[in-house]
């Protein structure tokens, strides 16, 4: 198999895992005000994501780094074409990070309120922006031999916005399920109810997205030529339905697992349709960035494949180990006992 294809798969996996993992942190951040009644409950939510959020965000850094190493031309053009959007993403991620870490440092209401706002903005904006970015990647960017003909505003086209809303809803449901799994009593009940309410909206937008994709993108071409691939969106839909089924049965952990699969499969649905493009051109197919015309040399890809084969399993192993250490729920009593964390 060609190394470009291996790296296309890895590229997709890195993004999918990033959305699956940071998705629940972003979702928790967006729901953080709505779900909590007091400072202690807020601290519970922060402690629920605290041990893992940083490690989850690194999947984004790695996805970016892998794009740079494996597809430098795509990295260069994507980041420079989407300059302003990425700048906003960067600023909001910075704000999210410091808000999570600094909020608890000083026990003062206005201090905490300021960081609470940072958590909300720093969670909602990345969710929306990443969705808008991927919507535009799916439908293609207006680029040709002379460069890029879009702007920050042109990214906010209906399909881009629809994908943005889809991501926000995916992460909202994902986050509320995570909160339910990680907490007890009122917090868990409330977040389960929230997930249930939001699920209907998620379903509606997901269906709209799948339909709109037929008109706004060429993603379905690959599915027409290889119908077997339809398994990917079908699993996504099945997993989405699974969320509701497990919620009704009162099994939040299984619902959360279904939500993980939903997010991964939604990303894969788009990426399978993209192949072999990384970013199609919406105005001149000859200037689409593909895994073949934007990749590194096979020597570099070989080196990077060895690095990935050695280190990704190690990373996954210690991440699972750490998740297991923090598998128990976080309660208000825990927070009162140990105020020191963050």
Partner 1 sequence: MDTVVLSRFQFALTSMFHWIFVPLTLGLSILTAYMETQYVRTGNELYLKMTKFWGKLFLINFALGVVTGITMEFQFGMNWAEYSKYVGDIFGAPLAIEATMAFFLESVFIGLWIFGWNKISKKTHAVAIWLVALATNLSALWILLANGWMQKPVGYVLRNGRAEMVDFSALIFNHYGLFKFGHTLTSGYVVAAFFVMGISAYHLRRENQTEFFKRSFMIAAIFGLAASILVAVIGDFSAVEVARYQPAKFAAMESIWETQKGAGLNIFVITDSKHECNSVEGPCIPKLVSLLAFHNPNAEIKGLKAFPRDERPPVLPTLLGFRFMLLFGGIMLVLALMGVIYSMRGSLEKHPLFLTIMLFSIPMPYIAGQLGWIVSEVGRQPWIVYGVLKTSQAVSLSISTGQVYASILGFTLLYGGLGVIDIYLLTKFAKKGPEDDLSALLKPASKEA
Q: Does 66 participate in binding partner 1 (rule CB under 8 A)? A: yes
Taking CB under 8 A as the binding criterion, the range among 21-29, 89-97, 203-211, 274-282 that sits at the site for partner 1 is: 89-97
Phi, psi (5° rounding) for residue 318? -75, -25
What's the burial of 104, exposed, middle or buried (CB within 10 Å: 0-12/13-18/19+)? buried
Asked whether 96 and 118 are in contact (CB, 8 A), the reply is: yes
Nearest CB to partner 1, comparing residues 33 and 105: 105
Least CB distance from residue 191 to partner 1, whole Å?
Answer: 17
Q: Does 61 participate in binding partner 1 (rule CB under 8 A)? A: yes
Dihedral of the CA atoms 103, 104, 109, 113 (nearest 10)? Answer: 20
Q: Does 70 participate in binding partner 1 (rule CB under 8 A)? A: yes
Nearest CB to partner 1, comparing residues 147 and 276: 147
Least CB distance from residue 342 to partner 1, whole Å?
Answer: 7
Nearest CB to partner 1, comparing residues 95 and 169: 95
**Candidate list 250, 274, 325, 332; residue touching partner 1; CB under 8 A:** 325
Using alpha carbons only, what angle is made at residue 42 by residues 339 and 245, rounded to the nearest 5 degrees? 125
Taking CB under 8 A as the binding criterion, the range among 22-30, 43-51, 236-244, 266-274 that sits at the site for partner 1 is: 43-51
Q: Whole-angstrom Cα distance, residue 264 to residue 203? A: 16
Nearest CB to partner 1, comparing residues 284 and 334: 334
Q: Record the tokens describing residue 109, joined without a space.
A: 């209401």
Q: Whole-angstrom Cα distance, residue 294 to residue 105? A: 46
Q: Does 75 participate in binding partner 1 (rule CB under 8 A)? A: yes
Nearest CB to partner 1, comparing residues 73 and 218: 73
Q: What are the start-end ranges of the E strands in the chain? A: 143-144, 147-148, 277-279, 289-290
Taking CB under 8 A as the binding criterion, the range among 173-181, 229-237, 258-266, 320-328 that sits at the site for partner 1 is: 320-328
Q: Whole-angstrom Cα distance, residue 29 to residue 149? A: 34
Q: Record the tokens describing residue 141, joined without a space.
A: 């960017």
- In 10 A of CB 307, how many CB atoms? 12
Q: Whole-angstrom Cα distance, residue 161 to residue 230? A: 25
What x-and-dash track marks residues 237-266 binding partner 1 by CB under 8 A?
------------------------------
Nearest CB to partner 1, comparing residues 222 and 300: 300
**Candidate list 193, 203, 303, 332; residue touching partner 1; CB under 8 A:** 303
* Segment (H or E) for 114: helix 109-139
Q: Does 329 participate in binding partner 1 (rule CB under 8 A)? A: yes
The answer for residues whose C-beta is within 8 angstroms of residue 67's C-beta and 6 or more apart is 11, 74, 75, 78
Nearest CB to partner 1, comparing residues 225 and 328: 328
Q: Does 148 participate in binding partner 1 (rule CB under 8 A)? A: yes
Q: Whole-angstrom Cα distance, residue 177 to residue 192? A: 6
Nearest CB to partner 1, comparing residues 220 and 326: 326
Taking CB under 8 A as the binding criterion, the range among 45-53, 160-168, 237-245, 267-275 that sits at the site for partner 1 is: 45-53
Nearest CB to partner 1, comparing residues 161 and 315: 315
Q: Could you say which residues in the range 128-147 bind partner 1, by CB under 8 A?
A: 147
CA distances to 34, 36, 288 from 183, rounded to whole Å, are: 15, 12, 46
Q: How many residues bind partner 1 (CB under 8 A)?
A: 71
Taking CB under 8 A as the binding criterion, the range among 79-87, 128-136, 215-223, 256-264 that sits at the site for partner 1 is: 79-87
């Amino acid at each position: 198999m060609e190394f470009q294809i291996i790296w296309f798969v890895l590229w997709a996996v890195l993004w999918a895992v990033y959305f699956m993992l940071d998705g629940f942190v972003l979702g928790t951040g967006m729901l953080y005000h709505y779900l909590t009644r007091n400072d202690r409950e807020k601290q519970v939510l922060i402690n629920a994501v605290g041990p893992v959020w940083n490690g989850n965000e690194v999947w984004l850094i790695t996805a970016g780094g892998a794009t740079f190493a494996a597809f430098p031309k795509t990295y260069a053009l994507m980041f420079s074409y989407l300059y302003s959007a990425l700048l906003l993403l960067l600023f909001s991620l910075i704000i999210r990070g410091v808000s999570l870490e600094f909020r608890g440092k000083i026990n003062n209401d206005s201090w905490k309120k300021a960081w609470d706002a940072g958590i909300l903005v720093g969670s909602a904006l990345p969710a929306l922006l990443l969705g808008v970015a991927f919507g535009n990647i799916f439908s293609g960017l207006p680029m040709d031999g002379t460069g890029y003909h879009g702007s920050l505003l042109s990214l906010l086209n209906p399909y881009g916005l629809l994908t943005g809303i889809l991501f926000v809803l995916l992460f909202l449901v994902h986050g509320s399920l995570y909160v339910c799994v990680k907490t007890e009593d009122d917090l868990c009940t409330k977040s389960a109810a929230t997930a249930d309410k939001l699920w209907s909206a998620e379903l509606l937008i997901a269906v709209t997205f799948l339909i709109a994709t037929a008109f706004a993108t060429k993603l379905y071409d690959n599915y027409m030529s290889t119908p077997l691939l339809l398994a990917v969106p079908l699993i996504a839909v099945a997993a989405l339905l699974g969320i509701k089924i497990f919620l009704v049965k009162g099994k939040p952990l299984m619902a959360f697992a279904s939500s993980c699969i939903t997010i991964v499969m939604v990303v894969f649905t788009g990426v399978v349709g993209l192949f072999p493009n990384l970013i199609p051109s919406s105005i001149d197919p000859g200037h689409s960035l593909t895994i073949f015309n934007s990749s590194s040399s096979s020597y570099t890809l070989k080196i990077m494949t060895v690095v990935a084969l050695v280190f990704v399993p190690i990373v996954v192993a210690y991440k699972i180990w750490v998740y297991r250490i923090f598998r128990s729920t976080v309660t208000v009593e825990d927070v009162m006992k140990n105020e020191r964390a963050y």
